[in-house]
Amino acid sequence: MKPFSKLKKQIDNLFAPELKMEFCCYAYPMRSQYGNTSIPRFCIKLNKEIIWDCPKGFDIKEDFIHSWSDTNGVCDLVRDYIDAPPEKLFETLFEKEYWEQDNYFTKEEIKLYYGLTKIFRAGDKRLGKEKLLNWSKNVPDYAVHLILEKRFGNKSAKVPPKISASGTKYIVFRLLPKDQQKGWKANGKGYYTCTVFPEENESDFCPYYHDYENFYENWIVNRRAFHLD
């Protein structure tokens, strides 16, 4: 665990101290038809609240979890961020943000986007307020906006939309703040209009963004067109 402890210390030292933000890794034993092993769990905590969680927050099937455990590249991604010049962080594309794998036996494939370095950017004490707030306007990630709100008092409660290849604005339900998720669930037995976007996991509930905005402003209270168990 020593190599990770050193990596953790280096990345944690880049975060603004008032955030009490830290990058963590835990090992969990797992039994399956493929044998027994330990699966890493990476997470980011903001004042002890987990705001990014992998693999828990990602759709990784059992057929892939062992190969992900061996080849996930998360620590390499963290190292790449640490080594990147601060003045180029907004323009740097980190290749290890993506992990993909084919299952030889089932012929299935999986592709993951971690979205980890944008969270690092939001908490990076080397990056200034003006640049971060301008950059965040086009970043549809709740964790990023939560960090910036705590860091700068920037009230960005409504997550900006993602845009599909066809130009449709939408939001990924699981990326919403927990209180807003609960608000939708408390609003009735059904939920709002949504569709399946090829850019997202098939299991993700993705409402159209105008529905999310309308709900957030309490403009819509009765229209329900999708049920989510």
Q: Where are the domains of the chain?
A: 2-152, 162-216
Q: Give 37-56 pLDDT, tens digit per residue.
A: 788 999 999 998 898 999 98
pTM for the complete prediction?
A: 0.68
pLDDT of residue 189: 43
Given a cut of 70, is residue 13 above it in pLDDT? yes
Express each pLDDT in 100-120 by its tens digit. Answer: 988 766 677 888 899 999 999
The CA distance from 69 to 180, in Å, is 32
Predicted pLDDT at 223: 35
Query: Is the pLDDT confidence value at 214 over 70?
Result: no
Q: pLDDT for 143-177, tens place per residue?
A: 898 899 899 886 554 667 788 877 888 888 777 76
Query: What is the C-alpha separation between 52 and 23, in angstroms, rounded?
Result: 9
